[in-house]
Amino acid sequence: MTVRVFVVILAVALMGTAAQAQEFGTPERSGAPNAAVPCSSSDDCPVLTLDDVRRRVLATSPSARANRLEDDRAAARVLNARGGFEPALVSGYEYKTKSGKDKLNVLRSGVSWPLNLPASPTLKFDYRRGLGSSIDPSVKTSRVGETRFGLSFAPLGGFRTDKARAALDKARLAPRRADALQARKRNRLLLKASRAFWDWVKARQTLEVSRGLLRLAERRQALVTKKARAGQIPAVDSVDAARTTASRQATLEKARRTAREKRIKLATFLWEEDGSPATFRYAPPDLDMPAPVDTTRRADAVETALARRPMLRVMDLKRQKTEIEQRLAQEQLRPKVKLEAQAVSYTDSPLNISDVKVGFEVDQPFFSRSRRSEVEKTEIALRDLKLKQDIARRTVRADVKSALAALSQAHRRARSAQRNERLAEQLRRLEQRRFEQGQGTLFVLNKREQSLAKARKQFIAAQISTLKAQATFQWATGTIANPYVDGGRRTGSDSPRE
């Protein structure tokens, strides 16, 4: 009898120790919500969905905002290239006296305007006045001065392109390249945010399973302890119940820590409109299985990916840019001959033409080694790009097929896990009934409950795996951002491996 009383006292002491550990192990809740405080299921917190996360990431994330700067960079490149065809004013004045007399009094002023046309024409308008006793005869004019206007062009080159036109053509590709680069970064950002979101949901759902398992153990411990004190059951059962409670409390703390880590990671994607970190107090959504993807339409998915993946668009634009450089290099192989013709007026009226000035200039290396090397380099670059494009297309096809296979396997795994969870629940109910009828044991019932909790966690993991596979498939086909892009405008715009 003394041994039995000692065992009962020991069981009560263990139960008190477990309750105290639970009390000290539970984190305190501060009055004001902030990003460091989790939202428990008992709080009235809004449900955070994947669509909410994606929209907020694209609208407020610094990464998304920095990504939208590509538009400004592209506009700056176009503006810089257009500067090659703007009129330019060149003016100068020289004045020198000796013994109170003008020795040198020269005024020059002119405007040149390159035109975006074949043969690289440039309009020129000049005014010059040269007076003084020591002035160069070629510069000396009457007091009225002389006016010239005319045209210079390259008759043998520049018909397909020239440096200024090639720079403008490449700059005009910049907006499309900016769109493709933004799409690539945006898709990658959405994929990372989606994975972080589902990791957080998995951790929260797993936490709820552990929390429910602990509550069940606490209720049973109280009942078993009461019966042990009354002498209805052996005292060792109360010790086993206390041990089970302590074990499940440790499991709950581990799940709580995992949920906190995943919440902190997801919070790094969420920001306020003013650029400050957003307060994170949300409840996870209920898990719903995504609709199965028709894996027989693999060809359609591959075609969609080949048309939508930003990586391929970036490479195609790079090919177009290299082709522009190739045309320029081929044009520069032609002899560089420049012709110029100007009408000259020596009166106050520029239209009173009394003279004509013509000239030409030739600049042609004997062997053109440098120019021929530029042509060869562009041809090599084009061949290299073609090979890289072939590899990229093969990679895109592999990404789609791999994503489809993973999605199909995840669906099968989820269905199997769901059946396993239902069977585990059925076994747990039957064992509970046997225990209440006095036919079962507490040890077996605890095992059934542990098996049910494990089955539920496996089902949650399988559902999350399916949802993450769905996000990966959307990324692989280049459609992950489709609901958030309207006519090429990004949500919130002011607009794994790739």
| CA–CA gap between residue 26 and residue 22 (Å, rounded) | 6
Confidence band for 44, pLDDT divided at 50, 70 and 90: low
Q: Is residue 73 part of a domain?
A: yes
Q: Is residue 334 part of a domain?
A: no
Tens of pLDDT, residues 317-348: 999 999 999 999 999 888 888 899 888 887 77
Q: 155 is written with which tokens?
A: 């008759």
481: CATH: 1.20.1600.10
- Check: CB of residue 468 under 8 Å from CB of residue 195: yes
User: Is the entire prediction scored with pTM above 0.75?
Assistant: yes
Q: Is residue 125 part of a domain?
A: no
Confidence band for 498, pLDDT divided at 50, 70 and 90: very low
| CA–CA gap between residue 144 and residue 156 (Å, rounded) | 38
Confidence band for 143, pLDDT divided at 50, 70 and 90: confident
Tens of pLDDT, residues 363-374: 888 888 898 999
The average confidence (pLDDT) of the chain is 84
Provide the pLDDT for residue 39.
61
| CA–CA gap between residue 170 and residue 410 (Å, rounded) | 45
Does 256 score more than 80 pLDDT?
A: yes
Q: Is residue 443 part of a domain?
A: yes
| CA–CA gap between residue 65 and residue 86 (Å, rounded) | 33
**Residue 465: domain span:** 2-22+35-77+172-320+385-490
Give me the mean pLDDT over the 380-385 stretch.
96
Helix, strand or coil, per DSSP, at residue 41: coil
Percentage of the chain beyond pLDDT 90 is 51
Number of domains in the chain: 1
- HSE, side-chain direction, 13 A CA sphere, residue 327: 17
Tens of pLDDT, residues 419-429: 999 999 999 89
| CA–CA gap between residue 275 and residue 84 (Å, rounded) | 39
Q: Is residue 159 part of a domain?
A: no
Q: Is residue 58 part of a domain?
A: yes
Q: Higher confidence at residue 10 or residue 251?
A: 251
Provide the pLDDT for residue 385.
95
Q: Is residue 253 part of a domain?
A: yes
Does 211 score more than 60 pLDDT?
A: yes
Give me the mean pLDDT over the 199-217 stretch.
93
Q: Is residue 82 part of a domain?
A: no
For every residue of 377-396, DSSP letters joined together read HHHHHHHHHHHHHHHHHHHH
